[in-house]
Structures are given as C-alpha cells and as structure tokens.
C-alpha cells in the first residue's frame, strides 16, 4: 500500500500538477512556458512527417522548452539543497531525459486540449483571476494594483500569468472527466484501512549464533571436503606492483607569481564580495496616478500614518506592502531602486514612478554597508589568483611531460627530466589492499590509480590519464602476481574457522527450531528465554509499516508478525542470529471511533484511484497521437559547447 501511495504521489506531481503549476498560488513559481522564439525541434506529438517537407499537423517540442525545463530542475535542486548541480552530473542522472518527458507530456495535453476543442475565453480567465483571494483587497473585491504587485513579487509577467491560467483551466476541463469522489468502493476502503491501522504487540527472543560455544574442530576428511566445495572462498587474488607519476597543481604552484598590482585590482573588482551591502527596511504604497500618490504623501505629512493615508485615498486597507530589508540589487534596476537608495529615513517627499505605477515609499531603517580592509583578504586573493593561473601552468607541464615521454618512451626518465616524483605500491589487489586486507592505496584518485594498474599489462605503461579532479597521472605496471587457489595447508586456520562458523549456524538454527516447537506447544516465552540463556522482550504496538529495533522488531520480523495467528511462534533469521516472534496482542481499529480518520483515508484513496485513471488517460492520449523524438537533435541540445 505504501508503494501504491508513493506511485500515486509521483503521478500527481509529475503528470498532472507538472502542468497545473499555477493553481492560484504564486509563491516560488517560475514561468512554465516562455513566449520567446523557438529553436530546433527535438520531438513531435501527432501529425504526419512528409519526406523533404517536414511535419504536417501535430504539436512540436522545441529544444528551448526542454532546456528551460532542465534548468528549472537544477534551480529546484538548488533551492532544496543550496547547491546547483553541474550539468555533467545532472546529465549522468538523466535529468535531461526527465525534462524531455515532462515537456512532451505537456505537449500531449496541450494537443489534446486543442483536439477536444476546449476553449477558455478571455472573460473566463479574467473572472478566474478576479476570484483569486490573493488579488482581493478590502471588501473582497479585485484590486488591480494588488494583482500587479503580487505578480511583481512572484517575478511573473502579466502576459505569462494569463497564458498559464488559460492552460491550467483548459487542462482542468480535460481532467474533469475523472471525478475523485466515491471512486474507491466502501468495502475496499474499510478493508485497506483495517489492514493499515491494525497494531500488534509482540513477544520476542533474540538467539545469536554465538550461543553455541561447543563447536568441535573438523576431522581432516570433513575439512578437506569443505575446502574442496568452497575453494572460491579462499582464493588468493591477483596482486600487482606498480609505479606512477601524478601531476597536480601542487607541482606548478611555486611557479605562479602574483604582483601587488594584480592583488589590488582583484580586490577592487571583488569589493562587494568581501563586505556587506547597504540594506534598507522599506514599506510602499502604490497608486495608478501621480495625484493620488501626492495626496497620500500630503496626508502623511499632515500627521497620518502611511497605512491610514493609503486607505483614505485608495479605499484599500491592505494598500501598504512591506518589502522588508532589501539591498539595491534585490529591486528591479531603474528609478525605483535608485530612488529608494537615494532617500533618507522616513516618508519620501515625492512619489517615484516606475513601469508598475506610482510608489509612495517609507524608509523605516537604514543599515550601512561594511567593507573589509585589503590586508584582511590579501592572503585569500593571492591564493585565488594562483588557483586561477595554476591550471594553465599545469597544462603546460602536462604537455612538456608528454613531449619528453614521447622522446624517452619511459615514465621514469620523463619524470626525472622534469623533476617529478615517481611513487610505488608493492603488491596490492584490485581493491587497493595488501595481502593482510589493509587499504594501502588511499586518496581521492586511489580507485583510478588501481583501475589503471590492473588495465595495463606487465612492464608496460598506461596512457596519460586525467582524474575527475583534473589531475593527470600515468601508471607503470611493474609486476603481476596471478590469482591462485592455495593449498589447504596454506589456509588451514581460515578453513577451520569458516567450517566452524557454518556448523555453529547449523547448531544455532537447530536450537531455534526446537525453541519454536516448544513455544508452539505452549511453553512460556520467559521460560524459553531462560532455558536458552537469553532474555524475552515485549515490543511496543506497531503497525505493519513500523518497527521497534530496540526490541528485535526489524521490518522482516514485523512482516512475519503480521502473518501469525495469536497462538503461533515463528523465527526470522537476521544477520548472525535469529529472532523468535509471537503475537502478544492485537489492536484492530474501531471504524466508528476512527470515523474522521477513516473519512480522510477514503478521500486519499479516492484521489489515488483518480490519479491512476488520469495516468491511464495521459498514456492513452500519448499512444493515440504518437510521439516522435529526434534523438540526434535532443543530444545536441545538451552537447558541450565548443
């Protein structure tokens, strides 16, 4: 059932509400469709393609739309995690494919809206906007100034908002054929609710394998038979000895020289980064003409508050908008930002005109910006400048190394010529561990070094390779010790230990089996635990989706618990032991007592069924129209820029 819920939630988010994005809530929502120019077509919904002519009918999907959706995904990740993924990383995770699918889904739905003749008139859009509580002022009537101000705060243009509203309303009509109310039968609702809400308390006993302490040693015949059947367990892996040269920025850092003038120029260019900009706590009222704006200012100068003055002139009790503390770059560039940051504290003596209207501004508080002295950041600037220049010198060193390597055909000779260090590892396996199992190849490039060493034949050198961190290395495989199956005499101690572990587990399982039989015959759990030399525990009440790990009730044990009848005991193997579990009590839900919870669950179930039907509808529409993807054009959309 949990999987069903997660799947339904994915449908809602990715299929339906991926298109119905406005939903009359503006906060944090960006444009879903741009009205900008088109680009290369990467897919087509419906229609017929005629050779040498192109598509006739259907709906195109353009590269710009897919790229914009891809960027929105990156921005969403950045808002959630604080970090924006690099494009290469995002492509590895398939976000570009997901973006294409989402844009295709919207195109399919748009095409369906067109095919079904669902038309949303301008009057209907205007009425829907007017009914939105977010745009209503005093008395519940639509306030045009508040409407424009809300859009400005949400960074959505009015034409774009109207386009999105029209698309949302049309899609709502299309999906309106699916009514969620009452879709799930009452009997199904009750049965699932009973299953999900039932709680059980268990008695548990944990029997570790270590309870068996008298495991005998194997006879020579037993040990030999076991070893022959399990040779793979004792195989000695292949070992390799290799040398390598790693070329990093550390090898060129000493060559980077940063002048005092360069440091000063860098400081001046990044001055804003090392200080805090001026902030101003701002309130504003807006009017659609200068006379009203001046009237509000005059009323404030006459002793009224900005709130009372704005209400008196505009009739809107919510006429004052608190922008809060803002920096100049937080505001749209132009007369409004320049005006606000040219004022002193208090009410502005004159209104400020912007493309949005006339602004009456009140400066509540000014927080002066702070600058950091050059000497405090000089060391950081020098480090940053060296880091900027080092990659060029690194590439030059790598080029020189390749040139000398080509002449000498020897990694060691080339390294000696350029003063680079040759490092060596003796006898490591494919995991970078020595014969004792100790990790000896360590560091950020450890796995890349080992992989190169095991991909290079004996007494040969690899190509010059680049790590994920932008460093360069070359490996010489000095010696290969092939993998082999040892003689029993070489690993006798390990083989004995392994045989005993298997036998210990068998004996422990036999004890557990006998304990289960005794429990099912009526033996009390406390007495059974005492006989085994362990303790019995009582868990807290859990549903089938919960656990109580402190009392040995892991999810596998919970699953077994909910299969048991109250008079039965069962065992579940978990790691190095087994758990005996028995039902102590069952708490079924009371449908009458839990009526409110049951009703909420019923609505959720109705919604899940409706979402499933919507998914089937979308899939059917996609199959009906057909979708053609231009794979080459799609890949080119995300190809690295040359």
Give the DSSP letter string of 6-45. Answer: HHHHHHIIIIITTT---TT--TT---SS--S----EEEEE
Could you read off the pLDDT of 206-265 as tens digits, one per residue? Answer: 999 999 998 999 999 999 999 999 999 999 999 999 999 999 988 887 777 788 888 888
Q: Is the pLDDT of residue 587 over 90?
A: yes
* CATH code of the region 276-367: 3.10.50.40
Show the CA angle centred on residue 489, arms to residues 483 and 492, nearest 5°.
95
Candidates 159, 49, 89, 203; CA nearest to 560 is: 203
- Which residues is 582 bridged to in the sheet? 203, 569
- Which residues is 457 bridged to in the sheet? none
- Which residues is 239 bridged to in the sheet? 481
Any idea which residue has 């406390």 for tokens? 526
Q: Determine which of 242-251, 316-325, 533-542, 581-590 has the lowest per-residue pLDDT on average.
A: 316-325
Region 353-358 average pLDDT: 85
Could you read off the pLDDT of 281-314 as tens digits, one per residue? Answer: 999 988 888 999 899 999 989 898 998 888 888 8
Res 539: pLDDT? 96
Does residue 363 come out as left (phi exceeding 0), alpha (psi in the -120 to 50 range) or beta? beta
Q: Is the pLDDT of residue 84 over 90?
A: no
Helix (H/G/I), strand (E/B), else coil: 34: coil
Helix H, strand E, coil C: the string for 147-214 is: HHHHHHHHCCCHHHHHHHHHHHHHHHHHHCCCCCCCCCCHHHHHHHHHHHHCEEEEEEEEEEHHHCCC
225 token code pair = 């038979």
Region 447-471 average pLDDT: 92
Cα distances from 559 to residues 197, 545, 553, 572, in angstroms, run: 14, 9, 10, 10
Could you read off the pLDDT of 384-432 as tens digits, one per residue? Answer: 777 777 788 888 999 999 999 999 999 999 999 999 999 999 999 999 9
Classify residue 74 by burial, with Cβ atoms within 10 Å: 0-12, 13-18, 19+. Answer: middle
Could you read off the pLDDT of 475-488 as tens digits, one per residue? Answer: 999 999 999 999 99
Q: Which residues contact 283 (CB under 8 A, 6 or more apart)?
A: 306, 320, 321, 322, 323, 361, 362, 364
In order, the DSSP letters of 270-313 are TGGGGSB--EEEEEEEEESSHHHHHHHHHHHHTT--HHHHHHHH
Q: Determine which of 177-181, 215-219, 361-365 has the lowest per-residue pLDDT on average.
A: 177-181
Q: Is the pLDDT of residue 146 over 50?
A: yes
Helix (H/G/I), strand (E/B), else coil: 539: coil
Res 25: pLDDT? 33
Return d(Cα 290, Cα 295) in angstroms, integer.
9
Average pLDDT, the chain: 86
Q: Which residues contact 196 (CB under 8 A, 6 or more apart)?
A: 1, 543, 544, 545, 601
Fold held by 199-234+491-587: Chitinase A; domain 3 (3.10.50)
DSSP H helical segments within 491-594, as ranges? 492-520, 525-532, 555-561
Res 540: pLDDT? 97
Domain ranges, ordered by start, for the chain: 2-181+614-637, 199-234+491-587, 239-257+376-481, 276-367
Q: Is the pLDDT of residue 642 over 70?
A: no
Candidates 212, 226, 209, 214; CA nearest to 499 is: 226
CATH of the structural domain 2-181+614-637, one choice from 2.60.120, 1.10.4030, 1.10.1060, 1.20.81: 1.10.4030
341 contacts 328 by C-beta, under 8 angstroms:
yes
Res 109: pLDDT? 86
Return d(Cα 201, Cα 585) in angstroms, integer.
5
360 contacts 286 by C-beta, under 8 angstroms:
yes
Say which CATH class 239-257+376-481 falls into.
alpha beta
Res 155: pLDDT? 59
Candidates 412, 521, 395, 524; CA nearest to 459 is: 412
Res 74: pLDDT? 86
Percentage of residues of the chain with pLDDT beyond 90 = 46
The DSSP letter of residue 638 is T
Return d(Cα 8, Cα 605) in angstroms, integer.
10
Q: Determine which of 19-28, 479-488, 614-623 has the lowest per-residue pLDDT on average.
A: 19-28
Return d(Cα 18, Cα 106) in angstroms, integer.
8
Candidates 434, 471, 478, 433; CA nearest to 453 is: 478
Res 323: pLDDT? 85
Q: Is the pLDDT of residue 67 over 80?
A: yes
Q: Within a 13 Å sphere around the CA of 584, how many CA atoms are in the beta-carbon half?
A: 18
381 contacts 387 by C-beta, under 8 angstroms:
no
Res 12: pLDDT? 35
Res 135: pLDDT? 86
**Burial readout 149-165 (b: 16 or more C-beta within 10 A, e: otherwise):** bbbbebebeeebbebbb
Classify residue 394 by burial, with Cβ atoms within 10 Å: 0-12, 13-18, 19+. Answer: buried
Cα distances from 537 to residues 85, 540, 551, 557, 571, in angstroms, run: 48, 10, 6, 14, 15
Residue positions counted in the chain? 642
Q: Is the pLDDT of residue 17 over 60?
A: no
491 contacts 224 by C-beta, under 8 angstroms:
no
Q: Is the pLDDT of residue 498 over 70?
A: yes
Q: Determine which of 2-6, 262-266, 347-351 has the lowest per-residue pLDDT on average.
A: 2-6
Q: Is the pLDDT of residue 10 over 60?
A: no
Return d(Cα 541, Cα 82) in angstroms, integer.
39
Res 154: pLDDT? 61
Candidates 431, 464, 426, 463; CA nearest to 446 is: 431
Task: Report the DSSP pairing between strands 199-208 and 536-538.
Answer: antiparallel
Q: Is the pLDDT of residue 346 over 80?
A: yes
533 token code pair = 């030399």
Res 27: pLDDT? 30
Show the CA angle centred on residue 140, arms to residues 358 and 166, nearest 5°.
80
Q: Determine which of 56-70, 89-103, 138-152 has the lowest per-residue pLDDT on average.
A: 138-152
Q: Do domains 2-181+614-637 and 239-257+376-481 have the same CATH topology?
A: no
273 token code pair = 């980064």
Res 272: pLDDT? 67
397 contacts 247 by C-beta, under 8 angstroms:
yes
Q: Is the pLDDT of residue 37 over 60?
A: no
Q: Is the pLDDT of residue 15 over 70?
A: no
Res 51: pLDDT? 85
Return d(Cα 328, Cα 332) in angstroms, integer.
8
């Amino acid at each position: 059932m949990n999987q069903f819920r997660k799947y339904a939630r994915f449908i809602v988010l990715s299929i339906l509400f991926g298109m119905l994005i406005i939903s009359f809530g503006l906060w944090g929502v960006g444009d879903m469709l741009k009205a900008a120019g088109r680009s290369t077509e990467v897919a087509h919904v419906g229609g017929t393609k005629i050779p040498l002519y192109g598509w006739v009918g259907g709906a195109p999907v353009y590269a710009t739309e897919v790229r914009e959706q891809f960027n929105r995904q990156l921005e969403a990740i950045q808002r959630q995690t604080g970090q924006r993924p690099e494009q290469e990383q995002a492509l590895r995770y398939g976000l570009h494919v997901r973006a294409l699918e989402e844009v295709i889904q919207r195109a399919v739905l748009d095409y369906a809206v067109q095919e079904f003749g669902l038309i949303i008139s301008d009057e209907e859009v205007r009425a829907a906007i007017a009914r939105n509580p977010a745009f209503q002022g005093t008395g519940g009537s639509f306030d045009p100034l508040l409407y424009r101000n809300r859009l400005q705060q949400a960074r959505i243009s009015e034409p774009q908002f109207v386009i999105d509203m029209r698309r949302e309303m049309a899609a709502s009509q299309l999906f309106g054929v699916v009514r969620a109310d009452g879709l799930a039968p009452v009997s199904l609702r009750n049965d699932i609710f009973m299953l999900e809400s039932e709680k059980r308390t268990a008695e548990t006993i944990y029997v570790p394998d270590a309870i068996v302490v008298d495991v005998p040693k194997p006879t020579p015949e037993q040990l030999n038979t076991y070893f022959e059947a399990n040779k793979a367990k004792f195989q000695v892996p292949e070992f390799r000895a290799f040398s390598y040269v790693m070329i990093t920025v550390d090898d060129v850092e000493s060559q980077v020289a940063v002048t005092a003038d360069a440091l000063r120029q860098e400081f001046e260019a990044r001055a804003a980064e090392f200080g805090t900009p001026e902030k101003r706590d701002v309130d504003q009222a807006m009017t659609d003409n200068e006379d009203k704006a001046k009237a509000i200012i005059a009323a404030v100068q006459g002793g009224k508050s900005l709130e009372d003055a704005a209400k008196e002139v505009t009739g809107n009790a919510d006429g004052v908008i608190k922008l809060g503390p803002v920096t100049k770059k937080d505001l749209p560039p132009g007369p409004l930002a320049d005006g606000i940051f040219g004022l002193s504290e208090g009410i502005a003596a004159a209104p400020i005109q912007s493309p949005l209207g006339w602004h009456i501004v009140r400066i509540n508080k000014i927080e002066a910006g702070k600058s950091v002295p050059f000497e405090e950041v000089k060391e950081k600037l020098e480090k940053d400048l060296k880091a900027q220049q080092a990659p060029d010198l690194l590439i030059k060193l790598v080029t020189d190394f390749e040139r000398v390597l080509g002449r000498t055909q020897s990694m060691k000779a080339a390294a000696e010529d350029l003063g680079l260090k040759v490092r060596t590892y003796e006898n490591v396996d494919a995991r970078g561990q020595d014969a004792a199992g100790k990790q000896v190849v360590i560091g950020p490039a450890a796995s890349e070094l080992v992989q190169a060493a095991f991909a290079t034949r004996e007494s040969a050198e690899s190509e010059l390779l680049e790590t994920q961190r932008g460093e360069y290395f070359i490996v010489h495989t000095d010696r290969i010790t092939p993998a082999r199956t040892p003689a029993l005499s070489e690993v006798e101690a390990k083989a004995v230990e392994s045989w005993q572990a298997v036998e210990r587990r068998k004996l422990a399982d036999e004890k557990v089996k006998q304990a289960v039989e005794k429990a099912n015959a009526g033996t009390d759990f406390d007495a059974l635990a005492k006989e085994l030399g362990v303790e019995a525990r009582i868990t807290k009440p859990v549903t089938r989706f919960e656990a109580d790990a402190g009392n040995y009730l892991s999810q596998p044990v919970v699953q077994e618990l909910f299969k048991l009848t109250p008079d039965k005991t069962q065992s579940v193997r978990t790691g190095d032991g087994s758990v005996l579990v028995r039902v102590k009590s069952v708490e079924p839900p009371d449908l009458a007592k839990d009526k409110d919870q049951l009703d909420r669950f019923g609505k959720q179930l109705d919604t899940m069924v409706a979402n499933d039907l919507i998914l089937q509808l979308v899939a059917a529409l996609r199959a009906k129209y057909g979708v053609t993807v231009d794979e080459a054009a799609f890949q080119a959309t995300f190809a690295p820029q040359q």
